[in-house]
Structure 1
Amino acid sequence: MTPMPPKPPARPDKVSLWRYVQLFRKDILSAQPARLYRAWMAEFRTPFFRSFLLNQPDLLQTVLKERPDDFPKSNRISEGLRPLLGNSVFLTNGETWKRQRRIIDPAFEGGRLKETFPAMRAAAEAAVERLKGQAGEIEIEAVTSHVAADVIFRTLFSIPIEHEVAAEVFARFRDYQRSQPILNLAAFVPVPRWVPRFFRKGTRENAARIRALITRLTDERAAQIAAGTAPLDLATKIMTTRDPETGESFTTEEMVDQVAIFFLAGHETSASALAWTLYLMAIFPEWQEKIAAEAAALGDTSFAAVSRLRISRDVFREALRLYPPVPMMVREATCPEHFRDRNVPKGSQLVLSPWHLHRHERLWDNPDGFDPARWETENGKTCQREAYMPFSAGARVCTGAGFAMVEGPLILSMLLRHYRVTPVEGKEPVPVAHLTVRAKDGIWLRLEPRAHCKD
């Protein structure tokens, strides 16, 4: 019998607002009713605002691609992230956001990916080495978090995760993640900006310490740039890029904001995607063996060779479909709209849910099944264009999407070339969403070195 990838249980169709808030704060995925996997549009009302979930492809096209300025990011979701992210590109809107993207985007262009690739590969090789002697049951999210953080520090600041500052940022970020719910109270209640925000114990302290450490790295890099000794990594590229319209570059505080989101987006999301991909490989061993064989046959791990990791890329893409790291995004209507014969008042929250869109029963063939071969089918190709957005879409598509689609298949192929993973009986992971889609009690796998890699 073909196994099915785990999926959280859905709640009953009708619950009270208070119960919904409780469920949402605990886990946004199981807080949603099953009907959303079939709905083109759904409405949710609170005493303070109206919220609409959009799954219909042409509505998503309108919001994300045709009129993005009319649907900026909602400030409600950002409330809980500001202590760490400040005014990073992830949270801003309008002209501020456009200026930030004009400075950041050149660092992630195609040619720059080739320059950062050796650091990415070095992080993957270090992960393979760290796993030597760890045969047996391991919690794989810890492994993928470690390698994803290593990739960020090597590509951004040319330092490995073992560097004292990088190691402390990594440790404190894990504490921050555990203390931070996906929603602050302001997500449900219209709280004025001047009213103090309340966070769980340790959240502000960890955010302040992380920002202080990033400031230290940024100041040191500014001094290296001034002295002409800075390495040509992402931090140097961004810090020396000027806005083509204003001629200004980032201040130190602005750079700290951006580094914080690079770490969050580039580490947390990649760790989530890789962990779920490895779990899928454990329960679908035939695909695991295909990846291992492809990696062994390729041999070379140059930047040019990675483009030939077709199986690894299709598997990673399918894992992003089933377990999109960012399960929901929220936009706000700046003027009254009329969608699907419904009035959408100004100020309404528009929820765009990759989690539901990627498993939509009226769009995808076998929506809950694991099938990397789907990307070669007509249905798969159509859905990839119209109903697939693990990195968002349109003007606000993640600037690191190309980076992630090199990093993920590379690390996946290198790990599976050297190790085999199998599921641990009685420890099937349950997806939950906090900052990203993770497993409720971790993802436990049994790891063993492949015969040709044993010491």
Structure 2
Amino acid sequence: MSGCPFHPPKPPARADKVSLWTHLRLFRRDILSAQPARLYRAWMAEFRTPFFRSYMVNDPALIRLVLNERPGDFPKSDRVGEGLRVLLGQSVFVTNGEVWKRQRRIIDPAFEGGRLRETYPAMLAAAQVAVARMSEGVVEIEEAASHAAADVIFRTLFSIPIEHRLAAEVFAAFRAYQRSQPILNLAAFLPLPRWMPRFHRKATRQAAAQIRLLIEELVAARGEEIAAGTAPDDLATKIMVTRDPVTGRGFTPAEMVDQVAIFFLAGHETSASALAWALYLLALYPEVQARVAAEVAGLGAAPEFGDIARLRLTRDVFRETLRLYPPVPMMVREAACPETFRGRAVKPGAQVVLSPWHLQRHERLWSDPDGFDPDRWGREETRASARAAYMPFSAGPRVCTGAGFAMVEGPLLLAVLLRAFRFERIHGDDPVPVAHLTVRARDGIRLRVARR
């Protein structure tokens, strides 16, 4: 155990009973603090609205049913896609059925185990630049983490650093999109026909359109390089030249724009969230930070791919961060046929909410569920808890394609930053987690940074 006399911050839970409209208002502002405290100990909860019912499921057996055993009967809910489609189009994140299967058959080969070793030099270059860019004194850590994670994505996907004109413009436009996009828009709550507008904010539409135009430029340029035989062997090239073994067709340029949008959203936004919270937790628990610093002190200036697997404590810190602050706090599926959950009838069209945030802090499934304890990952009890209640990357056929990528990138960035710098908590300025696109701090995360 860390020995810290208090737990890391989490959002205040609301009272168990509030009006529907109060709940929707809270939900739109922050999905986490809108939830009642009982969800940290309940196996299931039912929520009713005038238009649909939703069931939050924490029962491990039901989670396995939805994600692993019968995923086809619980497709992704369009209600979540409504809020993101303006940016993501028909990306693999929001599609279902045969469209999704075809997309995964094209994308998955680029992220197979052997490719991780090939992309590692680009990750390392981004990590080294992050160290060079880090300043001393008070630093807004979420901004620094976002910059580093975006650099990793651009270097591994398109072989360009974030300083490249297009990369810098996409990064800037995405920050504008983050500030304007709620986790769910009004269309998620109302049964709107397809022809009606989706009530996206003007700023959201403008930022999404700018991002997509910039991605179109990147994709078009890469297409020309592929045709000329001069394209680098990176993730974008791999995906663009891969053909679906079933249909024989690859992605069109328009389809590739959709996929790059989700690669950037999933690969940058989620990684930045996890890295920022990990650095905050290490500042909050200086004795754990000292142990990590000792573990990474022996790394050379350019640690090799195999070195990362040997950083057990660093990896466990990252895993514990993902448990406490899962970047994607909730996932929503939809029942496609009549079901019975824990004796309750679940009708077709009902929303099935799976919440890594609540599941990974569940009082019946974890010891000291709100405590930061990276050493728990060496105990047998945690292995059992993890099998039942740990899914920061989802699970089953729809498990995140980039999970292996993230578990190399996160510990690598932590290692090179902790080898170079000490991160200190600023008393009285602790962050409050909220859920926007991912779990972020309401007013940012500021730490005092000093060179070791």
User: Of 47, 55, 59, which residue of structure 2 is paired with 1:56?
Assistant: 59
Paired residue secondary structure (1:331)? strand
- The CA deviation at 1:425 is 1.7
Which residue type is aligned with residue 235 of structure 2? L
- What is the TM-score of this pair, normalised by structure 2? 0.98
Aligned position for 2:102? 99
Aligned position for 2:74? 71
Aligned position for 2:41? 38
Aligned position for 1:390? 392
Aligned position for 1:432? 434
In 2, Cα distance between equivalents of 1:118 and 1:298:
15
**Is 2:32 aligned against 1:19?**
no
- What is the TM-score of this pair, normalised by structure 1? 0.98
Which residue type is aligned with residue 201 of structure 2? R
Aligned length: 448
User: Of 77, 86, 89, which residue of structure 2 is paired with 1:86?
Assistant: 89
In 2, Cα distance between equivalents of 1:366 and 1:264:
32
Paired residue secondary structure (2:437)? coil
Paired residue secondary structure (1:446)? strand
- The CA deviation at 1:172 is 0.5
- The CA deviation at 1:145 is 0.1
Aligned position for 1:414? 416
Aligned position for 1:221? 222
My pick for the range that moved more, 51-60 or 197-206, is 197-206
- Where does 1:121-140 land on structure 2 (aligned, <5 Å)? 121-131=124-134, 134-140=135-141
Which residue type is aligned with residue 108 of structure 2? D
Q: 2:187·2:199 contact (CA, 8 Å) conserved in 1?
A: no
Paired residue secondary structure (1:20)? helix
**Is 2:5 aligned against 1:2?**
yes
Q: 1:80-125 CA distances to partner (integer Å, 9 max, x unpaired)?
A: 1111100000000000000000000000000000000000000000
In 1, Cα distance between equivalents of 2:10 and 2:208:
32
Aligned position for 1:453? none
My pick for the range that moved more, 117-126 or 200-209, is 200-209
Q: 1:227-252 CA distances to partner (integer Å, 9 max, x unpaired)?
A: 11000000000000000001000000
In 2, Cα distance between equivalents of 1:426 and 1:368:
20
Which residue type is aligned with residue 272 of structure 1? S
Q: 1:234-274 CA distances to partner (integer Å, 9 max, x unpaired)?
A: 00000000000010000000000000000000000000000
Aligned position for 1:146? 147
In 2, Cα distance between equivalents of 1:362 and 1:280:
24
- The CA deviation at 1:32 is 0.3
- The CA deviation at 1:394 is 0.3
Q: 1:197-237 CA distances to partner (integer Å, 9 max, x unpaired)?
A: 11223111111111111011101101111111000000000
Paired residue secondary structure (1:267)? helix
Which residue type is aligned with residue 48 of structure 2? R
Q: Percent identity?
A: 71
Q: 1:14-33 CA distances to partner (integer Å, 9 max, x unpaired)?
A: 11111011000110000000
Aligned position for 1:111? 114
In 2, Cα distance between equivalents of 1:202 and 1:258:
22
Aligned position for 2:355? 353
Which residue type is aligned with residue 207 of structure 2? N
Paired residue secondary structure (1:105)? helix
In 2, Cα distance between equivalents of 1:221 and 1:350:
40
Provide the alpha-carbon RMSD of the alignment.
0.7
Q: 1:279·1:445 contact (CA, 8 Å) conserved in 2?
A: yes
Aligned position for 1:233? 234
In 1, Cα distance between equivalents of 2:332 and 2:283:
33
Q: 1:3·1:283 contact (CA, 8 Å) conserved in 2?
A: no
- The CA deviation at 1:286 is 1.1
- The CA deviation at 1:2 is 2.1
My pick for the range that moved more, 434-443 or 183-192, is 183-192
- The CA deviation at 1:3 is 2.8
- The CA deviation at 1:174 is 0.3
Q: 1:52-83 CA distances to partner (integer Å, 9 max, x unpaired)?
A: 00001010000000000000000001111111
- The CA deviation at 1:386 is 1.4
Structure 1 segments, 4+ long, off by >4 Å, are: none
Paired residue secondary structure (2:428)? coil
In 1, Cα distance between equivalents of 2:6 and 2:48:
37
In 2, Cα distance between equivalents of 1:277 and 1:201:
34
- Structure 2: gaps of 5 or more residues: none
In 1, Cα distance between equivalents of 2:126 and 2:199:
37
Which residue type is aligned with residue 443 of structure 2? D
In 1, Cα distance between equivalents of 2:217 and 2:246:
29
Aligned position for 1:249? 250
